[in-house]
Structure 1
Amino acid sequence: MKLKKEYDLICVGGGIMSATLALITKLLDSKVDILILERLDKVAQESSAAWNNAGTGHSALCELNYCPEENGKVSIKKAIDICTQFEISKQFWSYLVDKKLLENPDEFIASVKHHSWVLGKENADYLEKRFKSFQEHFMFDSIEFTREIDTMKDWFPLIMNDRNESEIMAASRIDRGTEVNYGSLTEKLFHILETEFNTPVHCNMEVLDIDPDTDIAWTVEAKNLKTKEKCQIDAEHVFIGAGGGSLLLLQKVEIDEKEGYGGFPVSGEWLVCKNEEIIKQYNAKVYSKAGIGDPPMSTPHLDTRYIDGKKQLMFGPFAGFSPKFLKEGSNFDLFKSIQFDNIPSMFGAFWHNLPLTKYLIEQVLMSKEDRMDSLRKFVKKAKDEDWEVVKAGQRVQIIKKDEFEGGKLQFGTEVISSKDGSITCLLGASPGASTATSIMLEVIEKAFPELINSKKGKEKLKEMIPFYNAEITKKLFYKELKKSKVSLKL
């Protein structure tokens, strides 16, 4: 399809964020004219790709970093927020399935029980406190907890094989956990846009600059990487959802809100099992605790995955360092991102995160045998020949201005927006894809408040996403949980 001169919305990036934003916007008003530009030759090749993320339906069922312990009490506030956001995503996907827009949900989502598992008395006591806090809230009241070896053998026998029964350990489990192939889901969402809403993705298109325009809000300059031709396209609204590449584009935009933001790139690797017999033995996601002083991204987990119709088993993640902001990026990305306005932020974040730098250096220097030693904390007799190292995606953690420290490294995602909402940008990483629907609703609130606030828009959103702007009661939660379970065949 030939590019036009002017659009209502241009989405930069062909990942799950742009797909979700474009599709919700089209469902609210099919007349909104949307263009999607992707630098690579296919969609979902960076952060959304299955091998580039954990695939966990992040709902705080097993991720212990969402439940910090302070003064002897475990807070589950963030866990409630994350769980709510993932359920919102499931509601949107369920709606698409029920409307026969999204086909074969089993190709992108599967039921896999979520477990937390820890070693040592202190960690076991923490896990029990978390269990008791979870029991008191309806979102997590189906949680099970055990310190019994035999029960854990039943839950995840591969981990318990050959283990010394004198070890102090504990585990929890919630049955409704999911495994998600976000790459497959993203491709399906773009297929809906193309076939139902005449909104194709233009691939091999690199956005070079975004400038304010006198007649319409923004002019996007792009280059066709195949023909080398450049073009200028006008848009009333622009969304920058280019994963790690978003920061570099945001820095070219003339808005005050961008000042002080920087980025810290982190690469990743998995150990992937090659032995089909071992893969068959295991059907779980088991998350443990990050080491003392280690960042949240270091939380080790052994996961059942379903990628392109095949069952996989992965352990990790192992962090690394690369100056690239994208897996298919440039080694100069980090240096290009350092500007006068973010130097204090970058320096402050570096100075106050020296343990993270030390951790990354240690991770970079790890050999395969070092990685296997980490795996053997989970699988005692793991053999080198049964596992291979696979490179995962590239993430850019947010660095933002801080009044006291100069700059602070932030784990999570953040939407940066101009005052008028005509340009929005998503920075950050985990839990990312799991919470895409909630994040993109935030973007629509800023960019298209008229779609959200109209009577028609409110009714449509209530139909698509019952949790949106609703008081979530136990009755509503279980009603929608049951509905999404049926729709998504979980």
Structure 2
Amino acid sequence: MSNRQTKTDVILIGAGAMSATLGILLKELVPDWNIKVFEKLSNAGEESSNEWNNAGTGHAALCELNYTDEKSDGTVDISKAIKINEQFQVSLQFWSYLVNSNLLRNPQDFIMPLPHMSLVQGEQNVRFLKNRFEAMSKNPLFEGMEFSDDPVKLSEWMPLVMQDRATDEPIAATKIDSGTDVNFGALTRMMFDHLENEQVEINYRHSVNDIKRTTDGLWELKVRNLESGTVEHHTAKFVFIGGGGGSLHLLQKSGIPEGKHIGGFPVSGIFMVCNNPDVVKQHHAKVYGKAKVGAPPMSVPHLDTRFIDNKKSLLFGPFAGFTPKFLKHGSMFDLITSVKPDNLLTMLAAGVKNVSLTTYLINQVMLSKEKRLEELREFFPNAKSEDWDLVVAGQRVQVIKDTEAGGKGTLQFGTEVVSAADGSIAALLGASPGASTAVHVMLEVITKCFPEQLKEWEPKIKEMIPSYGMSLMENPELLKEVHTSTAQTLGLSGSEEDRQEKLKA
């Protein structure tokens, strides 16, 4: 058994979109820093970032109804939508910088323009959607959004959805053409290819089994080479834990106080994928509906055009479910081993509060294909069973913590960074909007963990992200400039015919 020991500046755990983003940011800011990556699987972007393990939506709150809350007086709070949209604009700017700098090529391999739509049925839901539209369309971030409750117009927008649909209840939709489909798996792999060219040491099939603080303030990782079975020890000044659902266990092993009283609740997902090309070509949009009562936010049903491996696909889902695994390639003991003395009461409180959610998830697991087809037919009335197959998506671990607003054992939906007081270690927990806002989240990590260098790094950050430190909503001229430049660089402007030609090429 090897006992090799090495020292480095930065260690990134997990080869997903978050680690890739942080790795490139740090390499651009301080090129001479030594960075190592440890990934349990055999390639980058194989867990949550993989194109078949997520919806591929560039989350900008254009169609996701769970980002806008209806108040008791009927008005709609769009503050969360504004926040997420601005964060996605940061990602677009960073990706544009990478393309313009020739660090990434062929942006059509990871991002494509695609209309985003919200679809609702029933008088109350139509009223909500119209109020949402009126609130959002006044904001420059959502310029170009349209609303219609005219079945003829809706048939133009989404013919597959409206074909042979019964019109016995009100129906409405919003549409905005500035949406995107993002292949986060392809993007992640491209970013890691670049990091490898920059002499970043990427170690696949290496599992981080333990992490502890040394007497001189460094972090020591116990790493097992899964191919040879040998164990190595690596130390670093800064560690980022970006292992998706596996981050919680490593955060707990670090022993930092900030990681106490935090738990995780795993939610699995299944998509239906269409295998009939004649059906696929009839739909060109991401169409999101409303989550059913009791469903978690990540289970909002949607019918999506996807671009995977330069091929147009059609997916519907996700159907939520429950398994105690924290990763798709994880262990059935992940949930039980995450329960510690410091988070036991938090987890028990969450269990009491979320009985209905647990029941909902178990019911989802038990759904037959025919029951899933019934839900699909709410979006696509003519769906045929033989045209659709099931694809198991990735695991998402929702954060459970004690909060002032929600009390003990509050289930959090979103992405959260937990870092040590001295900034020497940080972990990313949570789920959606996830990779869509990776650049914003990793800038948050940099701000928290490298405050002394931030002023020195600021000019370079602004070169990569022109809107850094500013609100695009409050600077409409800058917003217009950013929209125009990112659309041009990433190939998000131009005709659909031009884009199809690029796909063929």
TM-score, normalised to structure 1, is 0.97
Deviations 1:179-221 (A, max 9, x none): 00000000111111111x2113110110011110112421111
TM-fit CA distance, 1:470? 1.5
Instruction: State whether structure 2 residue 152 is matched by structure 1 residue 150.
Output: yes
Give me the whole-angstrom Cα distance separating, in 1, the residues matched to 2:320 and 2:219: 37
Say if 1:216 and 1:235, in contact at 8 Å, map to a contact too. Answer: no
Say if 2:401 and 2:410, in contact at 8 Å, map to a contact too. Answer: yes
Aligned-partner SS, 2:343: helix
Q: Could you say which residue in structure 2 is the equivalent of 1:120? A: 122
The worse-fitting range, judged by mean Cα deviation, of 460-469 and 57-66 is 460-469
Q: Could you say which residue in structure 2 is the equivalent of 1:229? A: 230
Give me the whole-angstrom Cα distance separating, in 2, the residues matched to 1:265 and 1:70: 29
Give me the whole-angstrom Cα distance separating, in 2, the residues matched to 1:4 and 1:248: 23
Q: Could you say which residue in structure 2 is the equivalent of 1:45? A: 46
Query: Which segments of 5 or more consecutive residues in structure 1 lack a partner in the other structure?
Result: none
Q: Could you say which residue in structure 2 is the equivalent of 1:179? A: 181
Say if 1:352 and 1:405, in contact at 8 Å, map to a contact too. Answer: no
Aligned-partner SS, 1:376: helix
Say if 1:349 and 1:405, in contact at 8 Å, map to a contact too. Answer: no
Give me the whole-angstrom Cα distance separating, in 2, the residues matched to 1:250 and 1:289: 34
Give me the whole-angstrom Cα distance separating, in 2, the residues matched to 1:326 and 1:165: 42
Deviations 1:295-341 (A, max 9, x none): 21221000000111111100000011111100000111111101111
TM-fit CA distance, 1:4? 7.0
Q: Could you say which residue in structure 1 is the equivalent of 2:354? A: 353
Aligned-partner SS, 1:388: strand
Say if 2:43 and 2:204, in contact at 8 Å, map to a contact too. Answer: yes
**What amino acid is aligned across from residue 410 of structure 2 in structure 1?**
K
**What amino acid is aligned across from residue 244 of structure 2 in structure 1?**
G
The worse-fitting range, judged by mean Cα deviation, of 91-100 and 402-411 is 402-411
Give me the whole-angstrom Cα distance separating, in 1, the residues matched to 2:294 and 2:43: 39
Give the share of equivalent positions with the same residue, in percent: 50
Aligned-partner SS, 2:396: strand
Instruction: State whether structure 2 residue 448 is matched by structure 1 residue 440.
Output: no
Give me the whole-angstrom Cα distance separating, in 2, the residues matched to 1:450 and 1:412: 28
TM-fit CA distance, 1:166? 3.3
Give me the whole-angstrom Cα distance separating, in 1, the residues matched to 2:330 and 2:137: 45
Which residues in structure 2 correspond to 1:71-86 (within 5 Å)?
A: 71=72, 72-86=74-88
Give me the whole-angstrom Cα distance separating, in 1, the residues matched to 2:215 and 2:295: 49
Say if 2:86 and 2:471, in contact at 8 Å, map to a contact too. Answer: no
Aligned-partner SS, 2:447: helix
Q: Could you say which residue in structure 1 is the equivalent of 2:372? A: 371
- Out of 105, 109, 112, the residue aligned to residue 111 of structure 2 is 109
Q: Could you say which residue in structure 1 is the equivalent of 2:99? A: 97
Give me the whole-angstrom Cα distance separating, in 1, the residues matched to 2:55 and 2:454: 32
Give me the whole-angstrom Cα distance separating, in 2, the residues matched to 1:40 and 1:165: 49
**What amino acid is aligned across from residue 44 of structure 2 in structure 1?**
V
Give me the whole-angstrom Cα distance separating, in 2, the residues matched to 1:158 and 1:201: 44
Give me the whole-angstrom Cα distance separating, in 2, the residues matched to 1:451 and 1:105: 31
Instruction: State whether structure 2 residue 384 is matched by structure 1 residue 393.
Output: no
Query: Which segments of 5 or more consecutive residues in structure 2 lack a partner in the other structure?
Result: 493-505
Deviations 1:211-255 (A, max 9, x none): 101124211110000000001111000000000000011111121
- Out of 406, 409, 413, the residue aligned to residue 407 of structure 1 is 409
Give me the whole-angstrom Cα distance separating, in 1, the residues matched to 2:25 and 2:319: 35
Give me the whole-angstrom Cα distance separating, in 1, the residues matched to 2:174 and 2:408: 39
Q: Could you say which residue in structure 2 is the equivalent of 1:133? A: 135
Say if 2:270 and 2:391, in contact at 8 Å, map to a contact too. Answer: yes
Give me the whole-angstrom Cα distance separating, in 2, the residues matched to 1:204 and 1:156: 44
Which residues in structure 2 correspond to 1:252-291 (within 5 Å)?
A: 252-291=253-292
TM-fit CA distance, 1:354? 1.6
Aligned-partner SS, 1:82: helix
Deviations 1:72-124 (A, max 9, x none): 11011000000001010000000011111110000000011000010001000
Aligned-partner SS, 1:159: helix
Deviations 1:422-456 (A, max 9, x none): 000000010100000000001111222233211xx
Say if 1:19 and 1:189, in contact at 8 Å, map to a contact too. Answer: yes
Q: Could you say which residue in structure 2 is the equivalent of 1:22? A: 23
Which residues in structure 2 correspond to 1:160-239 (within 5 Å)?
A: 160-195=162-197, 197-239=198-240
The worse-fitting range, judged by mean Cα deviation, of 274-283 and 3-12 is 3-12
Q: Could you say which residue in structure 1 is the equivalent of 2:498? A: none
Say if 2:5 and 2:233, in contact at 8 Å, map to a contact too. Answer: no
Which residues in structure 2 correspond to 1:409-488 (within 5 Å)?
A: 409-454=411-456, 457-472=457-472, 473-488=475-490
**What amino acid is aligned across from residue 114 of structure 1 in structure 2?**
H
Give me the whole-angstrom Cα distance separating, in 2, the residues matched to 1:438 and 1:406: 28
Which residues in structure 2 correspond to 1:290-369 (within 5 Å)?
A: 290-369=291-370
Give me the whole-angstrom Cα distance separating, in 2, the residues matched to 1:471 and 1:359: 39
